Amino acid sequence: MKKVVLKKGRQASLLRRHPWIFSGAIHSAPSQIKSGETVLITDDLQTPIAIGAFSPKSQIRVRVWSFNPQEKIDLSFFRNRLNAAIEKRKTLKLPEQTNAYRLVNAEADGLPGLIVDYYAQYLVIQILSAGAEYWKDGIVQRLRETINPKGIYERSDAEARKKEGLPLQKGLIWGEEPPDRLRIEENGLHFWVDIKNGHKTGFYLDQRENRKLVSEFAENKDVLNCFAFTGGFGLSAAKGRAKSVVNVEAVAGLLTEIEQNIKLNRLNPNLFENIKGDAFRILRKFVEDERKFDLIILDPPKFAERQSHLPKASRGYKDINLQAFKLLKTGGYLFTFSCSGLMKPDLFRKIVSDAALDAGREAQILKFLSQDKDHPIVLNIPESEYLKGLLLKVW
């Protein structure tokens, strides 16, 4: 097996069982090596530490498959890892609660760069690393044998693949072509999902429990749902007997999907006001118009793709939270989130705190919010905790 030798003292993160090796930590690597090929990782004294997949074009040059350097990386390895990930979801009783959930969550399930989501008897697979691409055929075969889905659809069209030197691609890999829209169930609600073209793999599965929580707080409330996507939070508020729901979404097509989901659930359309526009501007307009709400949800897209984006992202988070604090009635509730992995929980909390201070409001944290249990957080991989959220009561 080909060998990657680390520079002196650069094995510390591996000893803490973090699965990434950056290019700057490598002393030597083979000149002739395939993208995704399995390599042995050693310290500067040639002591084996781990085994992983080599990615010659990525800043993350090696992603660890196993911290046992003796382990064999073959089809049996992937069968065992996939089986373990699937069994976790069974023990969480997710198949009993919903027909849409994450089966494999990349590094958090010991399979770096591999995401597998289950939607109503179809699998959506997303391959974001050279190693997962190298073993793609075997992974698909094991998923077929283990899950026996109607079909497996690939959504490897994320920009992250470019960093690995991989082309963007999507389409049916195996089985039956999925319909243009799948109907999923969650928390007593139904949603149309476009797994072929929708954002991520079609739905924000990681917000399932947080949507349920919104439903529990929404009774008799005037609710504002910003960055509404296909209306998950807004419909959850309506299910919780909200007095009114305003959905704000910049993409006209998504507003159409919200309306279709309202109809699908036989909810009163007069309960909803669906507004097309930029949430930053609309929040300011509502402040100017002195509109008030009892409950506001802020679930924006990722503001920081890389470290250099963090200052601008921080300003963006502060801006929307500042406006939300101004719009909330006394005793109102704010559900506020950041899905930017680079945004650390302490920094996000400080940004929201500063926004409350500038708005002249006081707020109490009722609950720290995060991604749902099918998107596990691993203690030794801080990056696995990407979704941060706060439920605040505001005075």
The model's pLDDT over 135-150, given as tens digits with 9 standing for 90+, comes to: 999 999 999 999 999 9
Instruction: Report the percent of the chain where pLDDT is more than 70.
Output: 100
Same domain, 342 and 365: yes
* Listed residues 45, 66, 87: the one ending a domain: 66
Residues 55 and 93 in one domain: no
CATH of the domain at 106: 3.30.750.80
Between residues 371 and 342, which one has the greater pLDDT?
371
Report if residue 186 sits inside a domain: no
- 175 plus 30 within the same structural domain: no
**What is the model's pLDDT at position 340?**
87
Residue 189 lies in a domain: no
Tokens 């990525």, located at residue: 58
**Do 219 and 299 belong together in one domain?**
yes
pLDDT confidence band for 355 (50 / 70 / 90):
very high
Number of domains into which the chain is organized: 3
Cβ atoms of 104 and 139 within 8 Å: the answer is no
pLDDT, residue 230, reads 96
| 301 and 367 housed in the same domain | yes
C-alpha–C-alpha distance, residues 351 and 345, integer Å: 10
Q: Is 226 noted as a catalytic residue in this protein?
A: no
Three-state DSSP at 166 gives: coil
How large is the angle between the packed helices 232-239 and 208-217, nearest 10 degrees?
40
Q: How confident is the model at residue 127 (pLDDT cuts 50, 70, 90)?
A: very high
The confidence score (pLDDT) of residue 188 equals: 94
284 inside domain: yes
Q: Check residue 173 and give its pLDDT.
A: 97
pLDDT of 311 reads 86
| CATH number of residue 35's parent domain | 2.30.130.10
| Domain end (from 66, 91, 115) | 66
Which residues are paired to 266 by β-bridges?
none
Per-residue confidence band for 308, with pLDDT thresholds at 50, 70 and 90? confident
**Could you say which of 142, 165, 180 is where a domain stops?**
180
- Please tell me which residue, 45 or 304, carries the higher pLDDT value: 45
Is there a single domain that holds both residue 387 and residue 332? yes
pLDDT of 310: 87
Q: Is residue 223 part of a domain?
A: yes
Record the tokens describing residue 351, joined without a space.
């940004």
pLDDT score, position 342:
85
* Same-domain status, 53 and 143: no
Domain range enclosing 7: 3-66
94 and 61 assigned to the same domain: no
CATH of the domain at 291: 3.40.50.150
**Average of per-residue pLDDT across 271-289:** 97
> Per DSSP, what are the bridge partners of residue 274?
247
What does pLDDT average to over the chain? 96
85 and 58, same domain (yes or no): no
> Which pairing describes strands 169-175 and 151-156: parallel, antiparallel, or unpaired?
antiparallel
What is the predicted pLDDT for the residue at 50?
A: 98
Average pLDDT of span 106-126: 97
State the pTM of this model: 0.94
What mean pLDDT do residues 350-377 have? Answer: 97
- Identify whether residues 324 and 372 lie together within a single domain: yes
Q: Do strands 222-226 and 293-298 pair parallel, antiparallel, or not at all (unpaired)? A: parallel
Which helix or strand (DSSP H or E) is residue 14 part of?
Answer: helix 12-15
Active-site residue, from 6, 339, 343, 390: 339
Considering the domain architecture, whether residues 247 and 214 belong to the same structural domain is answered as: yes
* Cα–Cα dist 277/255, whole Å: 10
| Percentage above 90 pLDDT, the chain | 93
What beta strand segments (E) does the chain contain?
3-6, 20-22, 26-28, 38-42, 48-54, 60-66, 100-105, 114-119, 122-127, 151-156, 169-175, 182-186, 189-193, 222-226, 244-249, 272-276, 293-298, 328-338, 363-369, 388-394
In terms of C-beta distances under 8 Å and separation of at least 24 residues, what long-range contacts does 236-241 make, across chains too? 236/187, 236/189, 236/211, 236/212, 237/295, 237/297, 238/262, 238/265, 238/267, 238/268, 238/271, 238/272, 239/187, 239/188, 239/189, 239/215, 239/265, 239/267, 240/214, 240/215, 240/216
How large is the average pLDDT for residues 223-249?
98
Give dist(CA 111, CA 83) in Å, integer.
12
Is 10 in the same domain as 98? no
pLDDT at residue number 250? 95
Q: How far apart are CA 133 and CA 297, in angstroms?
A: 37
Q: Please indicate whether residue 304 or residue 7 has the higher confidence score (pLDDT).
A: 7
313-351 in b/e form (b: 16+ CB < 10 A) is: bbebbbbbbbbbbbbbeeebbbbbbbbbbbbeeebbeeb
Query: Rounded to whole angstroms, how far apart are CA atoms 13 and 153?
Result: 35
As a whole number of angstroms, the distance between CA 287 and CA 325 comes to 10
